[in-house]
Amino acid sequence: MFQCNPGRRSCGRGAGASEATVRVLTHDHFRLSVNACRPRRTPLPDWGIARRQELGERIAQGRRDLHLSQDQLADRIGLERRSVQRYESGERDPRCADLLLIGHALEVPVEQLVERKQ
What CATH number is given to the structural domain containing 60? 1.10.260.40
Q: Which residues contact 105 (CB under 8 A, 6 or more apart)?
A: 73, 76, 77
Asked if residues 116 and 51 have their Cβ atoms less than 8 Å apart, the reply is yes
Domain that holds residue 63: 46-114
Rounded to two decimals, the pTM is 0.66
| Each residue's pLDDT expressed in tens, for the chain with a length of 118 residues | 333 444 444 444 444 444 344 334 444 444 444 455 566 678 889 999 999 999 999 999 999 999 999 999 999 999 999 999 999 999 999 999 999 999 999 999 999 999 887 6
Structural domain total, the chain = 2
Does 34 share its domain with 14? yes
